[in-house]
Amino acid sequence: MELKSQKMLWKTENAPHRALFGALGFTEEELRRPLVGVVSAFSEIVPGHIHLDKIAEAVKAGVSSAGGTPVLFPSIGVCDGIAMGHEGMKYSLASRELIADSVETMAMAHCFDALVLVPNCDKIVPGMLMAAARLNIPSILVSGGPMLSGKSGGKRLSLSTTFEAVGARMADKIGDEELRAVERDSCPGCGSCAGMFTANSMNCLLEAIGMALPGNGTAPAVSSERIRLAKKTGAKIMELIEKNIRPGDILKKTAFYNALAVDMALGCSTNSVLHLLAVANEAHVLLDLGILNEISAKTPNLCRLSPAGPFYVEDLHGAGGVSSVMRELSKKGLINTEVLTVTVNTVGENIAGAPDGDGEVIRSVDNPYSETGGLAVLYGNLAPRGCVVKRSAVDENMLRSEGKARVFDSEEEAMRAIFAGLIKKGDAVVIRYEGPRGGPGMREMLGPTSALAGMGLDKDVALITDGRFSGATRGSAIGHVSPEAAQGGAIALVEDGDIIAIDIPGGKITLVVDEKTLEDRRAGWKAPEQKENLGWLSRYRRMVSSADRGAVLE
């Protein structure tokens, strides 16, 4: 392929450019090689990123060993756990767009020939993947890997355990000492939080969609395997440059369908829906929210990883990882094995040697946890354009339910009611004005869901929002209600005491109120006053689309 860096550097009029590279310490020999941007989300505020300096150095070594010149530059990243439960969470989803824009800016301004992207956590992975799709220069991703699960008193723990322990303490089910023990032991070191939460969901889906090497989603952050994977990734980008293989050659509709099938088999976070829609938008692939139910209907759920079950991502790795899951699905024709990947081989070639599932962490397609996938999209008069639930994390008794609405216009209002003991069995908690525009920023609601779970109400109370949920959420937690309340969606018309009927197997959610009453309520509805002084979130609010389109900027 023709190298952009060479066109930028080696004309007479490019002497100033060469001078500036010389000021950086680059030799002429280095500048004659392909310039590979290494985009690292390293920081000292995100546990999933604290070790990415080591991963990025391994990537650079791989690039250099294969004949390229690596050039490091940074990316921002929000820790969702630290941002949870306060105004900071408004910035999390919105930061995905900043990340994509900043990677595009750096790549275009400096004429990089290719990119190796090094993310690890929730919005950083999709933001970098969106940039790769948008730029369409040779690109590959390698994440920092999952955190190991914690252990305390013979029990395995993760961050979600800590959030749920807060609810248990508020309900006097545990004491201060037990809460402190969970707090101390739940996050034992670096990496993306240990369960099949959003970060690990997206890191696994990078493999499934073909933009990362096998092992990317599951090799532990603290393992030497992770360092070796980073070196191999750095070397692989040079082959992608040589053969001019770009994201546009990989991110076809069939690749997205593969990712959705793996999503269903693993029981990934509901946030994966938002992110796959957004990446598809950048790749100019038409991906409709309704396709999820079609794929879910024929894709068995093979894994029950925390919070849906007792296993963690390290267990998935030991059982064969994403490759084994894909090989299992391929036995029933649920994976397109002809899709090209960044290995420069097809999916079929990648998974040919993967071991069979162990029957426990990864079940066979003939003995799944359920015949249908881990996510479901529900439609009805409450969500005409859809809403999403992690079906695999819902108790069997809550798959079909009716609840009495308890309505709150913010997460904070709901949390006060939950901790005050005002939510009872059979309630349907509605949290609105937390959507992409209403929030703004579509905050995650791990606080309310974990509080309910800790209080023992997750099997009896539904939670419905136009916001979204952490991948660590379990229970009948239904998010992404579209249209959102701030746009006058039906969720804005719900009143305390209304009955909400939920039928997850049937894909339905119904506000049991007659149409005339809803019309009268709509006539009296007024859009809420918008908060001022929101900085760049004011721009985001004006430009962001609804959740059913991936909350992308218009």
- By annotation, the residues acting in catalysis are 470
The span from the CA of 113 to the CA of 494, in Å, is 53
Give bridge partners of residue 501 from the DSSP assignment: 402, 510
Coil, strand, or helix at residue 135?
A: helix
Coil, strand, or helix at residue 309?
A: coil
The span from the CA of 537 to the CA of 437, in Å, is 9
**Taking Cα atoms as reference points, which of 283, 260, 281 lies closest to residue 272?**
260
Write the CB contacts of 460 (distance below 8 Å, at least 6 apart in sequence). Answer: 398, 425, 426
Q: 483: which 2 tokens?
A: 């249209």
**Taking Cα atoms as reference points, which of 527, 233, 258 lies closest to residue 409?**
527
Q: 131: which 2 tokens?
A: 């940039």
The span from the CA of 501 to the CA of 503, in Å, is 7
State the maximum Cα–Cα separation within the chain, in Å, rounded to a whole number.
76
Q: Provide the Cα torsion 40, 45, 51, 52; round to 10°.
A: -10
Q: Provide the Cα torsion 125, 274, 204, 473; round to 10°.
A: 110
Q: 203: which 2 tokens?
A: 């890191």
Q: Token pair 């071991």 is at which residue?
A: 355
Alpha carbon distance, N-terminus to C-terminus of the chain: 33
DSSP 360-416: SSS--TTS-SBSS-S-EEEEETTEEEEEEE-GGGS-GGGSEEEEEEEEESSHHHHHH
